[in-house]
Structure 1
């Protein structure tokens, strides 16, 4: 296993743990069953979470339409995993 900050595991459980930690760092009291906005997330907090996701997982890992359309913590993690898989997929 490489100890390279640019290489982060993108399994759903790992990403979900990251989303929980990131939301908690942003001052939200969340668990895996929480909804980002019902837990107090605002549009400013959303922008901060998107920026952190892109810094950690790469560009477009959490597009705004994904976060605003599916704002459950599990859904956010699934979106990041799905978007990372699309980026990592070989181009035809």
Structure 2
């Protein structure tokens, strides 16, 4: 699994810790935590795929989880929970 994927998962865990304690928002931030950490888990599963189709399937799940994470972040931005700077990180 790529270091970049792992590092981003660590960043999102730290974001969740700070965000949930500072903003007292737990529902959306927990969704971000779940979807973002799932990306790395599915990439790791893809590395152990039993077939090419299994590999493609696991990687496509990772892509969907990335898209879901973006959705939750955009929602937090649209409702004023996070700044544009935070959204770009």
Question: TM-score normalised to the size of structure 1?
Answer: 0.30
Q: Which has the higher contact order (CA 8 A, sep 6+)?
A: 1
- Rg larger for: 2
